Amino acid sequence: MPPPLPLPLPPPTSTPPPLPPAASHSIGAPKTPGFFQAFPPPAPPPPPPPPPALALTASKGGLAATKHRLQSPIGLIVASVGVTVLLFAVFALVCICFKGRRRKHKPSDTKIQQCSSVTKDGPSAASMQQKQQNVTNSATVAADNALNPSSGIFTYEELVIATNGFSESNLIGQGGFGYVYKGRLLTGQDVAVKKLKAGSRQGEREFRAEVETISRVHHKHLVSLVGYCINGAERLLVYEFVPNRTLEFHLHENRQPVIVWESRLKIAIGSAKGLAYLHEDCSPTIIHRDIKAANILLDMRFEAKVSDFGLAKIFFDESPSITHISTRVMGTFGLGPFFSHPIPFLFLIL
């Protein structure tokens, strides 16, 4: 068998073949030719992690800083103040909401009827105005009220019956305000019914003034208001009946016996006590502004009772150092001669 023929070798070259880019830039890459030069060298290993001692030291430092901040007195004070302010704000908000809700659900005042009774405190001007707007007909009132006049609730029909149809025989007085009639209620109580002139602005003002003042006062020497009634444009006031008429009647009427000195002194003292109560002991203070003999009623024992509060004025300032100055002339012309003086003047009421 003949020997194998030798393979022809490539001719030698003067320069070796170029290396791939990855191999040429790699450090320590093998320079031997062959098929190993076609594969790039492995990637460099990642950097080693920090030593455990350093990481533990950093972690301990952060915890120490956090603990220091929490234990700082300034931080504790700020936190406590913030919590306190927040609690107070929440409490105030709850109180405001509760108060507003309570005010919203507060029961409204009793609806004013056409003919209403007079309480001790007396109705206000607003209630009187509401009463006038709500009045349409006074004929419909409960029967129990009709049988109980002491409650102060009267209908126009009740007062018509009590005064016998406002007859002339029951007329006991008259003036610029209207007429006064004697009446008797179903219980047998005698009363004086003042019927103001219908549609008069002065009568309306006097009606409100009477109700707002007399209903506030209760005194031995002041006439008592039993009740009142509003019927459309009609305004009626019901007083206690004082049987011995007025001081003016006993002083100036013909064929009347002369009042003895003891009775005159008793009348003067009683009138002064009534006025002193209005000025000093009544709250709020009430100024009558129309004191005269015709407005002082007498009972059978000649005890004086001040009446007719149509021109009275209420002062709500109860300070003892307050004085009232008025430039408006009030009262009856002739009782004060200086009323006719053209120069403005002042009333100083202590």
Distance CA 274, CA 276 (A): 5
Query: In 3-state terms, what secondary structure has residue 237?
Result: strand
Whether 109 is catalytic: no
Q: Is the dihedral of CA 318, 323, 329, 330 positive or negative?
A: positive
Q: Which among 284, 243, 291 is positioned nearest to 270, based on CA atoms? A: 291
**What is the H or E stretch that residue 324 is in?**
strand 324-326
Query: Given the structure tokens 């920090």, which residue do they identify?
Result: 50
Q: In this structure, what token pair is assigned to residue 294? A: 């015709």
Q: Which among 279, 257, 259 is positioned nearest to 267, based on CA atoms? A: 259
Q: Pick the catalytic residue from 121, 144, 290, 317.
A: 290
Count of CB atoms within 10 A of residue 233's CB?
A: 14
How crowded is the C-beta side of 301, counted as CA atoms within 13 Å?
A: 3
Query: In 3-state terms, what secondary structure has residue 68?
Result: helix
Cβ partners under 8 Å of residue 184, min gap 6: 162, 190, 191
Residue 143 DSSP one-character state: H
Distance CA 306, CA 224 (A): 10
Distance CA 289, CA 309 (A): 8
- Tell me: is residue 60 an annotated ligand-binding position: no
Count of CB atoms within 10 A of residue 200's CB?
A: 16
Distance CA 15, CA 33 (A): 12
Residue 107 DSSP one-character state: P
Q: Are strands 234-240 and 190-196 parallel, antiparallel or unpaired?
A: antiparallel
Q: Are strands 171-174 and 190-196 parallel, antiparallel or unpaired?
A: unpaired
State the binding site: 195
Q: Which of the residues are catalytic? A: 290
State the binding site for ATP: 195
